[in-house]
C-alpha cells in the first residue's frame, strides 16, 4: 500500500517532519490560496493547517481522513463542515503559549519605553534628541493589566505580570472558575475602565467578534494601551483607528488584523502610536518545534487509528471508519 500523504498549508519544523517521514509523505502546498488547496486536496489523506482555509474547501472533492491544526486557533478551519463529514480535527493547545505571552509582555515594554523610537532618533538626530524621546516613558510596576481570555496564554501573562513586574492583574472570560490566584475576575467593562494595559487573548467566536468596539474603547483610560495577539476580528478596526487618532487611548500593539496580509495603505500603518507586526506572536524557534512535534504526534496517533490527544470534535470519533480495532464507543 502507498504511504499516506500529509499536506501542509505552510512548512512544518523539521523535527515534526522527521517524526512523520518514516510512515508518510509530507507535502507542503506550493500554493496555499483557496484555489491552490482545492487542487491539491484530492491527493491528501491528512491536512496540517497553518493558514486560513476557505469556508467552502471541504465542499470540493477530497479524501481527507483527518485535519490537525498546527497551533490552537480553530477559526482557521471550517469546523462545522469537517464535523458534518465525520472528519476528526485535532489541535496543539498550549504549544505557543510562552511565545505569545512573551510577545505581549515585550509589546508592553516597547510601548511604555519606546525603544525603537529612541534608537531611531539617536541614529538620526544624535544623543540629546534620543534622550529627549524618553519624557513620556513609564514603568510597568504598579500598573494594572486586564487580560481578556485567561487560558494557557492569558495565565502565563498573568504570572509574569504579577510575579515578575509587580502589576495588578484583572481577568475576564465567561467562565472564570479556572483563573489562577493572581487574577481577579471582573466584568469586561470594569476591566477596560481600570486597566493601563488591555491584552486580548480570547478565541474568535460569534460572541467575541467585534467584542471591543467604539463603546468599549471609550471606557478605556486615555493613557491605556491595547494589545491584540488573538484575532483581528475581535476588535472593530474602524473604531480603533478613530480612538488612536483622537488619542482617547494612548496606543496599540497589533499582531492580527481583520484582513491578512495587511494592505500597505491600511490606516493603522499611518499612526505613530501603533506597533504592528505580521501575525508573528506565536513564532519562535522553540514554539515552532513544539507545535510541529505535537502536530506530528497526533497525526501518528490518527494513522494508527488511535484517538488523538487533543481531539476537538469528539462526536465524530465513534463513527470514524479508520479507528483502531478494539476501540469502544465510550472513547467518544
Q: Are residues 178 and 112 in the same domain?
A: yes
What does the H/E/C string look like for 46-102? EEEECCCCCCCHHHCCCCCCEEEECCCCHHHCCHHHHHHCCCCEECCCCCCHHHHHH
Q: Are residues 111 and 251 in the same domain?
A: yes
Count of domains in the chain? 2
Q: What is the DSSP-derived secondary structure letter of residue 319?
A: G
Q: Are residues 262 and 207 in the same domain?
A: yes
**What's the confidence (pLDDT) of residue 325?**
60
**What's the confidence (pLDDT) of residue 90?**
98
Ranges of beta strands (E only) in the chain are 5-8, 25-28, 46-49, 66-69, 89-90, 144-148, 168-172, 184-185, 197-200, 225-228, 251-254, 274-276
Residue where a domain stops, chosen among 250, 276, 302: 276
Q: Are residues 243 and 297 in the same domain?
A: no
Q: Are residues 208 and 299 in the same domain?
A: no
Cell 478551519, residue located? 77
How do 25-28 and 89-90 pair as beta strands?
unpaired
Is 161 in contact with 101 (CB distance < 8 Å)?
A: no
* pLDDT tens digits in sequence order for the chain, 332 residues long: 589 999 999 999 999 999 999 999 999 999 999 999 999 999 999 999 999 999 999 999 999 999 999 998 899 999 999 999 999 999 999 999 999 999 999 999 999 999 999 999 999 999 999 999 999 999 999 999 999 999 999 999 999 999 999 999 999 999 999 899 999 999 999 999 999 999 999 999 999 999 999 999 999 999 999 999 999 999 999 999 999 999 999 999 999 999 999 999 999 999 999 999 999 999 999 999 999 999 999 999 999 999 999 999 999 999 999 988 654 443 43
Q: Are residues 31 and 104 in the same domain?
A: no
Give dist(CA 232, CA 255) in Å, integer: 8
Q: Are residues 178 and 252 in the same domain?
A: yes
Cell 472513547, residue located? 331
Give dist(CA 21, CA 19) in Å, integer: 6
Give the alpha-carbon dihedral of 155, 158, 159, 161, to 10 degrees.
160
Q: What is the DSSP-derived secondary structure letter of residue 30?
A: S
**What's the confidence (pLDDT) of residue 330?**
39
Q: Are residues 151 and 258 in the same domain?
A: yes
- Structural domain span for residue 304: 5-95+285-331
Q: What is the CATH number of the domain that holds 9?
A: 3.40.50.720
Q: Are residues 145 and 52 in the same domain?
A: no
Sign of CA dihedral 172, 175, 180, 182: positive
Secondary structure (3-state) at 249? coil
Give dist(CA 144, CA 192) in Å, integer: 10
What is the value of pTM for the model shown? Answer: 0.90
**What's the confidence (pLDDT) of residue 278?**
97
Give dist(CA 316, CA 84) in Å, integer: 8
Residue where a domain stops, chosen among 276, 299, 322: 276
Q: Are residues 135 and 263 in the same domain?
A: yes
**What's the confidence (pLDDT) of residue 1?**
58
Q: Are residues 122 and 226 in the same domain?
A: yes
Q: Are residues 76 and 125 in the same domain?
A: no
Q: What is the DSSP-derived secondary structure letter of residue 311?
A: B
Amino acid at each position: 500500500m502507498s504511504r499516506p500523504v500529509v499536506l501542509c498549508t505552510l512548512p512544518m519544523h523539521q523535527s515534526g517532519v522527521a517524526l512523520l517521514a518514516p510512515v508518510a509523505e509530507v507535502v507542503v502546498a506550493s500554493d496555499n490560496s483557496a484555489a491552490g488547496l482545492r487542487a491539491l486536496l484530492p491527493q491528501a489523506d491528512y491536512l496540517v493547517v497553518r493558514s486560513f482555509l476557505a469556508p467552502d474547501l471541504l465542499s470540493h472533492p477530497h479524501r481527507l481522513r483527518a485535519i490537525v491544526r498546527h497551533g490552537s486557533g480553530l477559526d482557521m478551519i471550517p469546523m462545522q463542515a469537517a464535523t458534518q463529514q465525520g472528519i476528526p480535527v485535532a489541535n496543539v493547545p498550549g504549544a505557543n503559549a510562552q511565545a505569545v505571552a512573551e510577545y505581549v509582555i515585550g509589546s508592553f515594554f516597547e510601548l511604555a519605553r519606546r525603544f525603537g523610537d529612541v534608537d531611531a532618533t539617536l541614529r538620526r538626530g544624535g544623543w540629546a534628541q534620543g534622550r529627549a524621546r524618553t519624557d513620556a516613558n513609564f514603568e510597568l510596576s504598579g500598573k494594572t493589566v486586564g487580560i481578556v481570555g485567561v487560558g494557557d496564554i492569558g495565565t502565563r501573562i498573568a504570572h509574569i505580570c504579577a510575579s515578575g513586574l509587580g502589576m495588578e492583574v484583572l481577568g475576564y472570560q465567561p467562565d472564570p472558575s479556572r483563573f489562577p490566584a493572581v487574577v481577579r475576575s471582573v466584568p469586561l467593562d470594569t476591566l477596560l475602565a481600570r486597566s493601563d494595559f488591555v491584552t486580548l487573548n480570547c478565541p474568535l467566536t460569534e460572541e467575541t467578534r467585534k467584542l471591543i468596539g467604539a463603546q468599549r474603547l471609550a471606557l478605556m483610560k486615555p493613557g491605556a494601551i491595547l494589545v491584540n495577539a488573538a484575532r483581528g476580528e475581535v476588535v472593530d478596526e474602524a473604531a480603533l483607528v478613530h480612538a488612536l487618532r483622537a488619542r482617547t487611548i494612548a496606543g496599540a500593539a497589533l499582531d492580527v488584523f481583520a484582513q491578512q496580509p495587511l494592505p500597505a495603505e491600511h490606516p493603522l500603518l499611518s499612526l505613530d502610536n501603533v506597533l504592528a507586526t505580521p501575525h508573528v506572536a506565536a513564532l519562535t524557534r522553540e514554539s515552532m518545534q513544539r507545535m510541529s512535534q505535537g502536530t506530528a504526534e497526533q497525526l501518528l496517533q490518527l494513522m494508527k487509528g488511535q484517538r488523538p490527544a487533543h481531539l476537538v470534535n469528539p462526536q465524530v470519533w465513534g463513527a470514524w471508519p479508520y479507528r483502531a480495532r478494539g476501540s469502544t464507543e465510550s472513547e467518544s
